[in-house]
Structure 1
């Protein structure tokens, strides 16, 4: 809370919203095809959320993610929920965190307090189906504002999810780089004005291969923007990962 991220393949029947509308009208074959086409996205999203590599399609994590994606398809409302992949990400994360709370195997993945804190944010998003107030929820407003900021850098929320590092250590390293940029007025000004990461200045502050920064440009930029923003919930999401690093340090 991306993007912090590869354009998704367009379905022959039109935009994602049109595809979902046809699916919700009863096109079960199209739904099966849509889910199959998005399996790589589901696996990547699960891996990003849990900070582990999920490559076993017979795993509990994959089953939960798949069911959550199916749930997102059924519950999605284009008028209220905005971008489908943003919405599906929230649903998948919420269901995985429900699983983590019930399963001690994942106790070493994320601190329990962080899971509880993040889940409260997600529940506010998912309650939209009952209240019809999704567009009024603070987190949704933040996502809209964040999405506009990302567009200035040619980054979409889908990009952010798909390019987010799989491994926890890699993610924490990139957040550390983003923090260096965000905390330095001169570096952040260059980022915003020139739309590129001030490589020389960053490398003078942290020992890391410049190719690592180049490969993960979208993630680093997105996190830097969040850390310097007034987007409370998104900032808290990033700071949760920073606390996680200290927690396991």
Structure 2
């Protein structure tokens, strides 16, 4: 995945272990997405032990990954995190383990290379699916859904471009984002003061702008950001 800096990984494996903590911290979004997908629910760093297990698996992957085997580091991480989470659920007799994970007994029996190859093929599609599912879950906290965005999507390119520019500017404003995250609504007054846009325009496109701000202010929606180049439209949500 694009968020993982392979050059830094190589340096760590060459002995620059001082880079390890920053490398792990910069990839917490990836770790959370994969762990949430495996556990079939949205995990939180402050509450869920599964994320600690996934974090340890990621750290283990740094040490045990062999680039000479011709597989991607992300694929190897997915295999290792899934295996460690399955072990965790078995040891704790957790009833919340998904059936797909319970049925995957052979993950502990097959060679790591085979698991890596399998995930290498499906990794991109799974990552996109994870992001869309997590994004839809986050939208629900705002009383929105993907269906709402489809209905409220502006048809005119100039309108979309203006909304992208507003989102790009507001996404850098900590107060606006803090208010949005805390109250699950847009601070129209602060957006007007920052951008000079008319209230009527913001009220009309409020739902769509909220969705753009969620993406713009997060490090977890890397694939979705590929579809949006804020200020230079590519593809609409």
- Calculate the TM-score normalised by the size of structure 2: 0.50
After superposition, the Cα gap between the structure-2 partners of 1:81 and 1:125, relative to the gap in structure 1 and judged at 3 Å, is farther
Name the CA distance, whole Å, in 2 between partners of 1:10 and 1:98.
25
- 1:62 aligned onto 2:62: no
- Give the alignment of 1:58-137 within 5 angstroms: 59-80=48-69, 82-104=71-93, 106-111=94-99, 114-121=100-107, 123-126=109-112, 134=113, 137=114
The size of the alignment, in residue pairs, is: 147
Shift of 1:20: 1.7
The alignment's C-alpha RMSD in Å is 3.7
- Give the alignment of 1:226-241 within 5 angstroms: none
SS at match of 1:107: coil
Gaps of 5+ in 1: 1-6, 127-133, 148-154, 171-207, 219-249
Provide, for residues 181-240 of structure 1, a one-character-per-residue CA deviation record: whole Å limited to 9, x for no partner: xxxxxxxxxxxxxxxxxxxxxxxxxxx94968xx9xx9xxxxxxxxxxxxxxxxxxxxxx
- CA radius of gyration, larger in: 2
After superposition, the Cα gap between the structure-2 partners of 1:143 and 1:64, relative to the gap in structure 1 and judged at 3 Å, is closer
After superposition, the Cα gap between the structure-2 partners of 1:123 and 1:68, relative to the gap in structure 1 and judged at 3 Å, is farther
SS at match of 2:96: coil
- Give the alignment of 1:99-178 within 5 angstroms: 99-104=88-93, 106-111=94-99, 114-121=100-107, 123-126=109-112, 134=113, 137=114, 139-143=115-119, 146=121, 156=124, 159-160=127-128, 163=131, 165-166=133-134
- List, as ranges, runs of 4+ consecutive aligned residues in structure 1 with deviation greater than 3 Å: 114-117, 139-144, 155-162, 208-212
**Contact in 1 for aligned 2:78/2:119 (Cα 8 Å):** no
SS at match of 2:44: coil
Match of 1:8 among 2, 5, 20: 2
